[in-house]
């Protein structure tokens, strides 16, 4: 469970893994079991798994803990080490791992590139000066939304980690392939031993369940559609009833009603009604069958149906 620690003490680890062809389903099942085990450790905030994208061949697993010590306890735990011994059958090569501290979980609608460097202690000042020149140059590119640099974490990670955030993948590619960046890379050749990975975390804002504001793995499309239906039905009916006395023509009523329902769904229905009600069903544990959630949905929709039947056919006859 989330501990409620201050965000600036939080720690995020991003693990990249190359999955053997044909082992994707088995890997995902194993990874979800591992994430469920992580959730039982002190300081756990969230975990999610990102599949490969056209610009990234690896799967990414992101863990978020409230502090470096709690993250270290999970990373080095016997539970995780024993599970990794089992999961290696699904992987090719060694995984990559980057740890960042502070409020630096990948943002909800941005594309983030994670770059790690090994820097000798005597070259730190020169490295930081070179990074500042990179940051100054990239800040002039369209879509740039900020960058952060993180020092090595003693006992956990020896590399320096740099995060670059852009609005879209196209914006990021424009910077990564630019002549300006290439010139700066040439100037920093002594720091050319680095790894670069891109994380696209661009799902919407209707399904956020963590009380600290951390986004989790998005629900399946089927469950997403059903959840939207659970929220949309009462929203549309109540707005229609509220607008009925105005006697708008159909085309105008639909125009206004759709606009209002979009705002109500985003700011009221989904965060205050659907997500608290169906959070466990939308983000089931490995042991959950989903039957309880399905029964809950059936009961809730039956109640709405009876209520609106009474309102529109018994208490208030719409004509």
CA atoms of 112 and 122, how far apart (whole Å): 29
Q: What is the pLDDT of residue 318?
A: 59
Q: What is the pLDDT of residue 268?
A: 85
CA atoms of 43 and 310, how far apart (whole Å): 48
Query: What is the C-alpha R_g of the chain?
Result: 24
pLDDT tens-digit profile, the chain (319 residues)? 333 334 446 788 888 888 988 888 889 889 989 989 998 999 888 888 888 876 667 788 888 888 888 888 888 788 888 888 888 888 887 677 777 665 444 444 567 777 888 888 888 889 889 988 998 898 888 888 777 777 776 666 677 878 777 877 788 888 888 898 889 888 888 877 676 666 554 434 444 444 333 344 556 678 888 988 999 999 999 988 888 777 788 888 888 888 898 888 887 888 788 888 887 787 666 556 678 889 999 999 999 999 999 988 888 765 5
pLDDT digits (tens, 9 = 90+) for 106-149: 444 567 777 888 888 888 889 889 988 998 898 888 888 777 77
Q: What's 285's DSSP letter?
A: -
Q: What is the pLDDT of residue 6?
A: 41
Q: What is the pLDDT of residue 171?
A: 83
CA atoms of 245 and 259, how far apart (whole Å): 18
217 burial class (0-12, 13-18, 19+ CB within 10 angstroms)? middle
For Cα atoms 118, 123, 127, give the angle at the middle one, nearest 5 degrees: 70
Q: What's 159's DSSP letter?
A: S
Q: What is the pLDDT of residue 289?
A: 66
Q: What contacts 196, CB < 8 A, 6 or more positions away?
A: 113, 114, 115
Distances in Å between the Cα of 306 and the Cα atoms of 109, 302, 310 are: 39, 6, 6
Torsion 37-39-43-49 (CA) sign? positive
* Domains observed in the chain: 1-107+204-214 (3.30.70.100), 110-200 (3.30.70.100), 221-315 (no CATH)
Q: At 262, which helix (H) or strand (E)?
A: helix 250-264
CA atoms of 184 and 260, how far apart (whole Å): 49
């Amino acid at each position: 469970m989330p501990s409620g620690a201050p965000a600036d003490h939080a720690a995020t680890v991003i693990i990249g893994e190359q999955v053997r062809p044909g082992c994707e389903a088995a890997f995902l099942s194993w990874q979800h079991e591992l994430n469920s085990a992580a959730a039982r450790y002190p300081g756990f905030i969230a975990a999610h798994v990102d599949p490969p994208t056209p610009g990234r061949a690896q799967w990414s697993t992101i863990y978020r803990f409230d502090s470096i010590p709690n993250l270290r306890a999970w990373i080095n735990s016997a539970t995780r080490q024993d599970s990794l011994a089992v999961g290696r059958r699904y992987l090719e090569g060694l995984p990559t791992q980057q740890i960042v501290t502070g409020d630096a979980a990948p943002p909800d609608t941005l594309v983030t590139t994670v770059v790690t460097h090994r820097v000798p202690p005597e070259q730190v000042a020169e490295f930081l000066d070179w990074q500042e020149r990179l940051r100054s140059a990239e800040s002039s590119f369209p879509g740039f939304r900020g960058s952060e640099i993180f020092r090595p974490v003693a006992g956990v990670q020896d590399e320096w980690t740099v995060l670059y955030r852009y609005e879209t993948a196209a914006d990021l590619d424009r910077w990564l392939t630019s002549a300006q960046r290439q010139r700066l890379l040439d100037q920093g050749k002594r720091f050319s031993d680095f790894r670069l990975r891109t994380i696209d975390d661009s799902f919407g804002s209707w399904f956020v369940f963590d009380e600290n504001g951390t986004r989790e793995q998005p629900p399946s499309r089927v469950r997403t559609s059903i959840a939207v239906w659970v929220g949309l039905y009462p929203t549309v009916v109540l707005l229609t009833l509220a607008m009925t006395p105005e006697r708008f023509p159909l085309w105008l009523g639909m125009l206004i009603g759709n606009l209002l329902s979009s705002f109500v769904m985003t700011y009221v229905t989904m965060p205050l009604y659907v997500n608290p009600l169906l959070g466990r069903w939308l983000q089931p544990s490995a042991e959950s069958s989903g039957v309880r959630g399905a029964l809950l949905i059936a009961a809730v929709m039956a109640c709405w149906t009876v209520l609106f039947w009474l309102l529109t056919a018994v208490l208030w006859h719409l004509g």
